A and B are shown apart, each in its own frame.
Chain A
Amino acid sequence: GQSLEQPSEVTAVEGAIVQINCTYQTSGFYGLSWYQQHDGGAPTFLSYNALDGLEETGRFSSFLSRSDSYGYLLLQELQMKDSASYFCAVPQTGANNLFFGTGTRLTVIP
């Protein structure tokens, strides 16, 4: 089967940097995606890593290490509006849908 492990909750201070980790177990790895979801809102795409290394998009970066079956989302210069749930996801084995982790709830405090 597949599994994704991420911390359930993270708290960080406004202006700081926070890293949200995701460890995966899957056969036939095809990349790691990250989605953000504000309370009551729709999940929105943040990033996708198919190859090892760091991908940067503004304040957000995503990292992948396929040999360690591990990735993380890095949020810099945290803002209050970054308070949300963050989900890592991988393609479902043998299917076309995305398999999502249970999410990390990030709370940014002043």
Chain B
Amino acid sequence: GAGVSQSPSNKVTEKGKDVELRCDPISGHTALYWYRQSLGQGLEFLIYFQGNSAPDKSGLPSDRFSAERTGGSVSTLTIQRTQQEDSAVYLCASSAAGGLGEKLFFGSGTQLSVL
């Protein structure tokens, strides 16, 4: 597609349920990032994928969070046993090669609300 696509755009779930968030990066981009943004706050790094290399998971806040990237393209972020503090906008971004200073292209995000 023309840009980074994320789905769903909104997700409301009950505390304790699992959720899956999807990201479709720009075709040909080898680097993919997940960030989280709480209301009125900055972007918090979660995880980074580059090609076939092992992902950088250093930003994942707990073992309830995991992510996969299949075939070097689509990525899924999974949050197990959701908690209210997980409520945030989850943003996905991709870049051509993951180089320093390279432009990141962001999707519009998934607004997650945990009740």
A91 near B56 with CB under 8 A, answer no
Q: Given A48-B101, A102-B42 in contact, is the A97-B48 Cβ separation under 8 Å?
A: yes
For residue B2, CB closer than 8 A to chain A, the reply is no
Which range contains the number of A residues in contact with the other chain?
20 to 34
Residues of A within 8 A of B56 (CB): 95-97
Q: Are B42 and A103 neighbours in the complex by a CB distance under 8 Å?
A: yes
A53 to chain B, nearest CB (A): 15
Tally of chain B residues near chain A (CB < 8 A) = 25
Interface residues of A (CB under 8 A from B): 30-31, 33, 35, 41-45, 48, 50, 87, 91-92, 95-103
B100 CB contact (under 8 Å) in A31, A44, A101, A103:
A31
Q: Which 3 A-B pairs have the closest CB atoms?
A: A42-B106, A102-B42, A100-B43
Q: Among the listed B4, B45, B101, which residue makes an inter-chain contact with A99, where contact means beta carbons less than 8 Å apart? A: B45
* B residues 63-96 touching A (CB-CB < 8 Å): 91, 93
Q: Within 8 Å CB of A50, what residues of B?
A: 100-101
In the bound assembly, the distance between CA atoms of A31 and B59 in angstroms comes to 21
